[in-house]
Amino acid sequence: MSRNPHYIKMINSNRWKLLRAKKLQNNPVCEVCEANNRSTLATEVHHIVPVESVSHELGMRQLMFDYNNLQSLCHSCHSEIHRCAFSHSKEAVQANNKRMTERFADKFLKPSNGV
């Protein structure tokens, strides 16, 4: 959780609450689960490029309120993404997506031992 005062102000704003509600309305299913052929109700909205990847308020505002920077997620996928975000960079996000894809391949494409 961020302690940046700009971030806190934006995340508590009506503008964010409305945008978040709109995103969940348009994408009610967790996008990560959906990519793995699971249907889980999304309850959280994630910023693909972290708002705090920039330090100035204007840049943060742009990332915060950019609809295309949002991802609908269930709680478990959201915690997973944040636990695995080793740095707040685009590269980290891409690496994370790649890792998720590889894990998916591991789970579903390799023969299982019946466990």
The residues that touch Zn ion, with contacts defined as CB under 5 A, are 30, 32-33, 40, 46, 74, 77
Closest separation in Å from C-beta 9 to Zn ion: 18
With 0-12 CB in 10 A as exposed, 13-18 as middle and 19+ as buried, what is 40? middle
Q: How big, in percent rounded to 5, are the helix, strand and coil portions of the chain? A: 60, 10, 30
Closest separation in Å from C-beta 44 to Zn ion: 7
Q: Residue 91 or 113: which CB sits closer to Zn ion?
A: 91
Confirm if 46 and 90 have CB atoms less than 8 A apart.
no
Q: Residue 33 or 60: which CB sits closer to Zn ion?
A: 33
Q: Residue 14 or 50: which CB sits closer to Zn ion?
A: 50
Closest separation in Å from C-beta 65 to Zn ion: 15
Nearest to 52 by CA among 97, 82, 18: 82
Closest separation in Å from C-beta 105 to Zn ion: 17
Q: Residue 36 or 57: which CB sits closer to Zn ion?
A: 36
